Amino acid sequence: MQSPSPQPQEQGGHHHPEQWSWYHYFLYNTDHKVIGIQYLVTAFVFYLIAGVMALLMRTELYTADPDFLAPEVYNMLLTNHGTLMIFFWIVPAAIGGFGNYLVPLMIGAKDMAFPNLNAIAFWLNPIAAIFLFASLFFGGAQAGWTSYPPLSLITNNAGQSLWILAIALIGTSSILGALNFLVTIYKLKTPNMQWDELPLFCWAMVATSLLALFSTPVLAIGLIMLLFDINFGTGFFRPEMGGDVVVYQHLFWFYSHPAVYLMILPIFGIMSEVISTHARKPIFGYKAIAYSSLAICVVGLFVWVHHMFTSGTPAWMRMFFTISTLIVAVPTGVKIFSWVATLWGGKIRLTSPLLFAVGLLAMFVFGGLSGVTLGAAPFDIHVHDTYYVVAHFHYVLFGGSVFGLYAAIYHWFPKITGRMYNETLGRVHFVLTFIGTNLTFLPMHNLGLQGMPRRIAMYDPQFEFINKICTYGSMILGISILPFFFNMIWSWSQGTPAGRNPWRSLTLEWQTTSPPAIENFDEEPIVWAGPYDYGVDTQTFEADDPTVEEILAEVGQEMK
């Protein structure tokens, strides 16, 4: 190296150690990579807890009678299962975890725009979790993750209030995070990267952040109103005082529908990275994918009433929101087709990340199509609040978001840890998870269509057989965690060193060491190719064969 790279310490006046030690990960730390890992690991712990709750619920549902859990306990479990999965697992892992870890690296920055705010946003998570687990000691919230009043006003006030505080805190965290991502991407993108060279994951984060920014506050105010109704005697949702229970539903879904896109848009970003890299082919339709995220985000703000088709919803609303909901299928379809087209004609490496990405594609399409059927109000009236809906959202959430997170974990594992994971274990994990997911959630469609409502601990015995299948499936899912767990722990300490760029990927995070140095890049990263230009340079090299030096010098010229 001819010119000595400037020492990070000199530049910022920060005094970081050369590498973080293990205990740094348990302390307040402003390095976006540490924060990313903190998010990922805590979120994963919550996932396991929520998963165990699901297994308990499935055990209860093995028979038609409430013979395993008291119904109150069942309701507590289902509420907190949904809450943990959504607010403490998918959102923090996808946005907080991978967003934090990857965005600065991908745009060639040293850190997020507001490192301290970032750390604060993370630490709100464990604090929120303390509130949530405290609520369990009071019997827990039992009104479902939607917490509709008046039920949430009259059941277990202490548990419900703590639940509200937990969600309010985690919502604050997500607003702070969103703000940080927007400013970071807008301001800190390395100047030699054009907007159309921005990795699609970052585009997805832009859309996600906008959505989080504009919808989360509405949930926050709804929850504050609920909290006041429970504890301070206000009448927002008390009809006898002139309040209106349906107003809560609007406030809740105005956030929580966009929240489902919060949970899938970053995953879509991950998909673009993973598929293109492992198929060794440029992403098909970069612009279409980038803009469709924004389209989903805009349309996604205007579909929330599809969760309220059977509520106090006038006919014109039912129809308006039917149509807007159906329209969301179009930009989503653009993405799906683009990924299939990216696979088409590629040289597809069947690595674990790619398997999970393809699994996601397969199941998300299914979940999306069932979502479209739900969007048609006349049909939704029949299946609303049934297991058909439960099936739909587990297909998109488990088959979508969780599969995407697994793909991301495998894909960036070498970068994060500097070591390779075990491919065989990864494939075993994939097969078990894929089978388990379909076995658990496919039969649920049937249950819903035939008349089994959701959120019940005791059900009509005619549904027992199908429920047994679902329960077996969930056990497979429980087991499927084991190879993953073993793989992660073993490979982190024993895996073969991965080097900088085991996937020969083109996005910037792969230009630095694995794991990346504390301030990411020893020197200014060079954007010498588009993020997905696989095969593009091969052509030019064959044609006139310039040396690497020449290319890089050229890039340097262009920058000036």
Instruction: Return the amino acid letter for 377.
Output: A
Task: Please identify, using beta-carbon distances, which residue of 179 and 340 lies nearer to ligand HEA.
Answer: 340
Task: Please identify, using beta-carbon distances, which residue of 146 and 190 lies nearer to Cu ion.
Answer: 146
Query: Least Å distance between CB 371 and ligand HEA?
Result: 3
| # residues near ligand HEA by CB under 6 A | 58
Tell me if 306 contacts ligand HEA by CB under 6 A.
yes
76 close to 479: Cβ distance less than 8 angstroms: no
Tell me if 121 contacts ligand HEA by CB under 6 A.
no
Query: Least Å distance between CB 368 and ligand HEA?
Result: 2
Q: Which residues, numbered 401-440, are part of the site for ligand HEA (CB under 6 A)?
A: 401-402, 440
326: how many CB neighbours lie within 10 A of its CB? 15
Stretch that binds ligand HEA, among 65-73, 151-159, 177-185, 369-377 (CB under 6 A): 369-377
- The one of ligand HEA, Cu ion, other proteins, none whose footprint includes residue 86, by CB under 5 to 8 A per kind, is ligand HEA
| # residues near Cu ion by CB under 5 A | 1
- What are the two backbone dihedrals, phi and then psi, of residue 376, each rounded to the nearest 5 degrees? -80, 105
The binder of ligand HEA chosen from 120, 431, 481, 529 (CB under 6 A): 481
Q: Which two tokens stand for residue 506?
A: 């083109």
83 close to 132: Cβ distance less than 8 angstroms: yes
Task: Please identify, using beta-carbon distances, which residue of 60 and 428 lies nearer to other proteins.
Answer: 60
- The one of ligand HEA, other proteins, Cu ion, none whose footprint includes residue 481, by CB under 5 to 8 A per kind, is ligand HEA
Question: Among residues 100, 78, 91, which one has the least CA distance to residue 32?
Answer: 100
The binder of ligand HEA chosen from 132, 166, 365, 518 (CB under 6 A): 365
- What are the two backbone dihedrals, phi and then psi, of residue 352, each rounded to the nearest 5 degrees? -55, -45
- The one of other proteins, Cu ion, ligand HEA, none whose footprint includes residue 478, by CB under 5 to 8 A per kind, is ligand HEA
Instruction: Return the amino acid letter for 252.
Output: F
Question: What is the rounded CA–CA span in Å between residue 414 and residue 503?
Answer: 9
Query: Least Å distance between CB 55 and Cu ion?
Result: 26
Task: Please identify, using beta-carbon distances, which residue of 82 and 495 lies nearer to other proteins.
Answer: 82
SS (H, E, C) 384-450: CCEHHHHHHHHHHHHHHHHHHHHHHHHHHHHHHHCECCCHHHHHHHHHHHHHHHHHHHHHHHHHHHH
Question: What is the rounded CA–CA span in Å between residue 182 and residue 292?
Answer: 18
List Cα–Cα distances, 503 to 337, 350, 514, in angstroms. Answer: 24, 12, 12
Stretch that binds ligand HEA, among 54-62, 126-134, 154-162, 188-196 (CB under 6 A): 54-62
DSSP letters spanning 438-497: HHHHHHHHHHHHHT-BSS-SS--GGGHHHHHHHHHHHHHHHHHHHHHHHHHHHHHHHSPB
Q: Which helix (H) or strand (E) holds 102?
A: helix 100-106
The binder of ligand HEA chosen from 145, 284, 286, 421 (CB under 6 A): 145
- Residue 5 CB-density burial (10 A; 0-12 exposed, 13-18 middle, 19+ buried): exposed
Task: Please identify, using beta-carbon distances, which residue of 257 and 429 lies nearer to Cu ion.
Answer: 257
Q: Which two tokens stand for residue 148?
A: 């509709």
The binder of Cu ion chosen from 33, 110, 250, 257 (CB under 5 A): 257
Tell me if 397 contacts ligand HEA by CB under 6 A.
yes
- The one of ligand HEA, other proteins, Cu ion, none whose footprint includes residue 41, by CB under 5 to 8 A per kind, is none
Tell me if 250 contacts Cu ion by CB under 5 A.
no
Q: Which two tokens stand for residue 20?
A: 């973080």
Residues at the interface with ligand HEA (CB under 6 A): 48, 51-52, 54-55, 57-58, 78-79, 81-82, 85-86, 90, 144-146, 260, 263-264, 306-307, 325, 328-329, 332-333, 336, 365, 368-369, 371-372, 374-375, 380, 384, 389-390, 392-394, 396-398, 400-402, 440, 454-456, 470, 474, 477-478, 481, 485
